[in-house]
Amino acid sequence: MMTTTAARPQLLTVREAAGLLNVNERTVRRWIEDDAVPYLQLPSGSYRIPQGALLASLRGNYDLAGELRKLDERNAELTEEQVQAALAEQ
């Protein structure tokens, strides 16, 4: 389960970012090489992409980052235990 964006910055792997945006990992790596998306490079050479900054870097007329903020606000009162209990019920 992904942590909510408001609780703490969510750092995505290249694979996770690609999955979130439904694109190929090579596409995300190309965006990194072109400095088209925000990223952090770890000492190991692998990358982490801040989810909020990634979503904010997208262009278009749909405010996905705004939708995620609304979800975070609606669910701000939930505890991790409540989330886990709800998931266990499914």
- The backbone torsions φ and ψ at residue 53, rounded to the nearest 5 degrees and listed phi first, read -70, -35
Residue 8 has pLDDT above 80, yes or no: no
Q: Do residues 51 and 3 make contact, with C-beta atoms less than 8 angstroms apart? A: no
- CB atoms < 10 A from the CB of 55, how many? 20
* Sequence ranges of the domains in the chain: 11-89
Does the domain spanning 11-89 belong to CATH 1.10.3470?
no
The structure tokens listed for 53 are 């900054």
pLDDT digits (tens, 9 = 90+) for 25-71: 999 999 999 999 999 999 999 999 999 889 888 887 777 778 888 88
User: Do the Cβ atoms of 70 and 63 come closer than 8 Å?
Assistant: no
Sign of CA dihedral 50, 55, 56, 58: positive
Q: Which residues pair with 13 in a beta bridge?
A: none
